[in-house]
A and B are shown apart, each in its own frame.
Chain A
Amino acid sequence: MDRRDRATPDQATTTNRREVDPQRTSAGPVTGMTSMAALQRQVGNRAVCSILRATAPGSGSAPGAPAAQGAIAAPGQSSSTSQLQRVVTGQESPSQADASPVATPQASTATATATAATSEPASLYGARTPQRALIEEAGSAWKQVKAKHLGKGGSPETMKQIVDYRKLYVDGLLEQMKAKYGVGARAVGSTALSSDYDVTFLGPMSSAAAAVVDFNGKFRDDWHAESGIVFDTNVYAEDFLGAKPANGVRDDDPTMTTQSGTVEDAALQDANALVKVRKNMSKTAWTIFVSRVVLSLPDSQQATARKQFDQADATFRTTYVASMLRRLPPDKVATMRRQGKSDAEIVEDLETGAEGVEAANREYETQLIEVGRLEKLRDNLASDVNGPPTQHRWTELTLQIRQAKSKAMLFANEPYFSAGTLYHVVGNMQGAWGIKLGIPEYFQSANENFGDFKKEIAHHGHGGEVHDPFADFVAFAVASSKYAFRFLDAADKMRSAGVPIEAPVSELRAMEGRLLAIRQGEALGEDGNRIDERAIGAKRDATGKLRKKDARGEATGDLVATTTDYSSATKEKKDADAGKVVGEMGVSSIEGLDRKFTSISVEINVKARQAGLDRTTS
């Protein structure tokens, strides 16, 4: 369910910094040949080849589209051309395309001849295939598809066929958008059958926004539902931050040229992080959380803290709730109001359903269009940016662009809201950027990832009846380990930087790391802890063994010593090990884990403020 992918370092002003789920970057077993061959028979070789030609790097690099070469290379990332050709010839499944730049206009002499293929429409659009029939049988809802084919009595092989179909369908539609709007695109593939498949359009925001709107509209025309519901595929435009800084320190906004601007922005980012927490809590849970923090502070700090939390609550209400309300079915809203529900409760009740996803998508599109308008206006000033009046307007427009992007992110699926979190997770944890960060950035990240952990709780358990509560809890612990690990990593770094956090965040971080390794099919090292493949520069070779990378990034170096490798472990082994980990954590239920992490979050919020992080926006 993750839509964040990576920045292209050569994009200095147009920005893109989303996350790649490490899970997507590990090569899975080659099991998709049968399904791909079947798919080719069903829709014809010409259709599949058309898509593959069109999605090859360099195959549709329309004029004006940003170059993406040099994008942060995720471990395991390889040329999508050869990879997809292997798919056609039955050597590989498309779902092995890890974080593949499916539609990225990467310049390549070798593939330049494929450019003309972009004019061919994607043939899976509207095509009646058996895979489509299977999806429709499940109510055109990916959740139901997964429940049916990955659940008890299901067939992973059938699911694999459906996942392959999804990838080819989306890639074909992507290619149409790319050719039509002159944008690049990045589609993040996955090795896990349970994962989503998200897309980010790259390029000038006005074009990227138009591509998002058109993609969503075309998909709706074909399926009469949102792609997020049918395929668990959400489409996005570039978001917030700039490229990897060259000098190892943050440099993410042209308006941050003054001390007051920097301070103001830092307070805004703190507030953004708290909005994430608020968004993923009920009103009651939020009130209790805030009270616990505020009442733990000295009297002299309570008012400022209270105001910070009130600001987050107000922003959540005036931007997210207000905008969602106008997009939700009026009759339903009216009925729920008559039942005594507040506007926030109405939105909370409806946001995860089809109507909520549709409302969020339309609002996201509206906000992207607004960002595009603002960028156009600012571009018009570019020729005379040094004149005093123009400089003032440049800054004003940049601030508005920044605010509009922040607002847009509220309606996207699982974005990070604050710059500190983006630097911590996307830059340093995933990109191994090594940017020097301080307590403020880690504080933002701790809050945001705690908020995402809360969202995991809110979304858990909607799949049906639970027969084994402990097994369900273990499954949740594994599923939520991504955010829990990041939350604890940020907390641990705050502690290392001098914030006197008493909770055993280092130990818990290590345990969550083991759960994360199970979740993502990674390995444990000789010390029993998760091996961070990016951090140590490791990669799996063709046989699946973990090796150090050579200078060219290939897995040809020394073998990395491992004690347990979950890339080939059985489900029983994973479940058993995960059960041991949660046992060591001393919790036996989702509620227990929630209480534990909430208490840590409260402590972090108290200690951070006591350390001086009580900045408020003016």
Chain B
Amino acid sequence: MIPTTPSAWVALLRGDVDEFNEARATTGSDPCDLSGSDLAGCDLSGSNLSHCYLVGADLTSTDLHAANLVGATFAGSTMDEVVLSGALLEDVILSRCSLVSARLDNVTFTRTKLQSANLADASLAAARLDYCELGDARLDGADLSSTHHHGSNLIDVSARGVDLRDSVLDECTLSGANLAEARLDRSIWTSCAFSTGSLRHASLRHARLDGCRLDGVDVEGADLTGASLTTSSLAHLVNATDAWSAS
């Protein structure tokens, strides 16, 4: 029985993920609108939500482990403490979502939109973010250790106290980003644009920031012990005298 209304689709999804997946396979590319639905706390692991619309949905503490979310839209949804490990996250729209304390470890985000999303205290350890949009996102206190970022837009992110230790940031744009008190030890930055942002009291011990643009970045109290800044542009670096000498 193929659902004919959004509420029937939601009921099917809540009741039996396998049947939901079968119904979706039958309907092909028809848009599946689950916007505004309450799916909080549901076990939706393995569900096929690709190209579904869940705008403004409640997915608090929902288990989306190994779900297929390719091309799905979650704009403005509440997804606090959601579990996304093993999920397929290509071309997903998570803009303006609340993802506080979400579990996103080891997830690969490809061309994912996370503008203005709130990822405070989320766990993204060892995640990979390729060509993602995170402008104005909140990452305060999040765990992004050992993550890999390639080509992503992090303009104006608020990432106070974020853990980016042992991470790689390649060709990313971080203009205006607030990384105050961030832990960036042993991180590797290549060809990144980071101007007028803040690294106040951040720890960059043995970090490599080669070929980056760091114009106007405030480094007051930053720990740059053993850091490498080869061929980086450092014009107008702010409060540089307060930072530890870079090697």
A interface residues (Cβ-Cβ under 8 A, vs B):
302-303, 306-307, 310-311, 313-315, 317-318, 321-323, 342-343, 369-370, 373-374, 376-377, 380, 389, 392-393, 396-397, 400, 617-618
Q: Which of A343, A373, A389, A397 contacts B151 (CB 8 A)?
A: A343
Cα(A393)–Cα(B242), bound, Å:
50
**Smallest CB-CB separation from A304: which chain B residue?**
B196
Tell me whether B53 is interfacial, beta carbon within 8 Å. yes
B153 touching A317, Cβ below 8 Å: yes
Checking A317, A376, A377, A397 against B131 with a beta-carbon cut-off of 8 angstroms, the contacting residue is A317
Shortest Cβ distance from residue A271 to the other chain B in the assembled complex, whole angstroms: 11
In the assembled complex, the CB of B77 is this many whole angstroms from the nearest CB of chain A, namely 11
Q: Tell me the interface secondary structure of chain B in the complex.
A: loop
Which of B51, B116, B133, B171 meets A373, CB within 8 Å? B51
Chain A residue contacts of B76, Cβ below 8 A: 396
Chain A CB within 10 Å — which of B75, B152, B155 has the most? B155
User: A396 touching B155 by the CB < 8 A rule?
Assistant: no
Decide if A306 touches B195 in the complex (CB within 8 Å).
yes
Ranked 8 nearest A-B pairs via Cβ: A322-B131, A314-B153, A303-B196, A314-B173, A310-B175, A373-B31, A318-B131, A307-B175
B36 touches A389 (CB 8 A): yes
Q: Please, which residues of chain B bring their CB within 8 A of the CB of A302?
A: 216
Could you tell me how many residues of chain B have their Cβ less than 8 Å away from some Cβ of chain A?
38
A588 to B79, CA, bound (A): 61
- Kindly state whether residue B176 has any CB partner on chain A within 8 Å: yes
Choose among A321, A369, A377 the residue with the greatest number of B CB atoms under 10 Å from its CB: A377
User: Which single member of B51, B71, B93, B132 contacts A318 (CB below 8 Å)?
Assistant: B132
Check if A306 sits within 8 Å of B171, measured CB to CB.
no
Q: Across the interface, do A377 and B151 meet the contact criterion of CB distance under 8 Å?
A: no
Taken together as a complex, chains A and B put the C-alpha atoms of A307 and B36 apart, in Å, by: 35
With A306-B195, A310-B173, A313-B193 known as contacts, the answer to whether A318 contacts B153 (CB < 8 A) is: yes
Q: For the complex, is B111 an interface residue (Cβ under 8 Å from A)?
A: yes
Q: Is the CB of A400 within 8 A of B151?
A: no
CA distance A323 to B35 in the complex (A): 26
Chain B minimum-CB-distance residue to A314: B153
The answer to the question of B121 belonging to the interface, with a C-beta cut-off of 8 Å to chain A, is no
Contact A307 B176 (CB under 8 A): yes
Determine if A376 and B31 form an interchain contact, defined as CB atoms under 8 angstroms apart: yes
Q: Please report the C-alpha to C-alpha distance between residue A370 and residue B93 in the assembled complex, in whole angstroms.
A: 13
With both beta carbons as reference points, the residue of chain B lying nearest to A299 in the complex is identified as B236
Task: Indicate if the CB atoms of B155 and A314 lie closer than 8 Å.
Answer: yes
Q: Is the CB of B75 within 8 A of A396?
A: yes
B215 touches A306 (CB 8 A): yes
Besides A307-B175, A318-B152, 20 other A-B contacts (C-beta < 8 A): A303-B196, A306-B175, A306-B216, A307-B156, A310-B155, A311-B135, A311-B153, A311-B155, A311-B175, A314-B135, A314-B173, A317-B171, A317-B173, A318-B131, A318-B132, A342-B171, A373-B29, A376-B31, A393-B55, A400-B75
Minimum CB–CB distance from B160 to chain A (whole Å) comes to 19
A322 and B176 contact, CB distance less than 8 A: no
Whole-angstrom distance from the CB of A2 to the nearest CB of chain B? 29
Nearest Cβ in chain A — how far from B199, in angstroms?
16
Which of A310, A343, A396, A617 has the most chain B CB within a 10 Å cutoff?
A310
Please give, as numbers and ranges, the residues of chain B lying within 8 Å of A397 by CB-CB distance.
55
Given the complex of chains A and B, what is the CA–CA distance between A48 and B131 in angstroms? 49
Q: Is A377 a contact partner of B53 (Cβ separation < 8 A)?
A: yes
Expressed in whole angstroms, the Cα–Cα distance for A343 and B93 within the complex equals 23
Minimal beta-carbon separation of A365 from chain B (angstroms): 13
Given A314-B173, A370-B71, A377-B53: A307 in contact with B133 (beta carbons within 8 A)? no
Closest A residue by C-beta to B55? A396
What are 20 contact pairs spanning A and B, CB under 8 A? A303-B195, A303-B196, A306-B175, A306-B195, A310-B195, A311-B175, A314-B133, A317-B171, A317-B173, A318-B132, A318-B151, A321-B151, A322-B111, A342-B171, A342-B191, A377-B31, A393-B55, A400-B73, A400-B75, A618-B136
Within 8 A of A (CB), among B158-193: 171, 173, 175-176, 191, 193
Considering the complex, give the chain A residue whose CB is closest to the CB of B151. Answer: A317
B63 interface residue (CB < 8 Å to A): no
Find the residue from A318, A389, A400 having the highest chain B CB count within 10 A.
A318
- Kindly list chain B residues whose C-beta atoms are within 8 Å of the C-beta of A318: 111, 131-133, 151-153
Contacts of A617 in B (CB 8 A): 135
B33 lies within 8 A of chain A by Cβ: yes
Contact A307 B155 (CB under 8 A): yes
* Complex: A310 Cα to B191 Cα, angstroms: 13
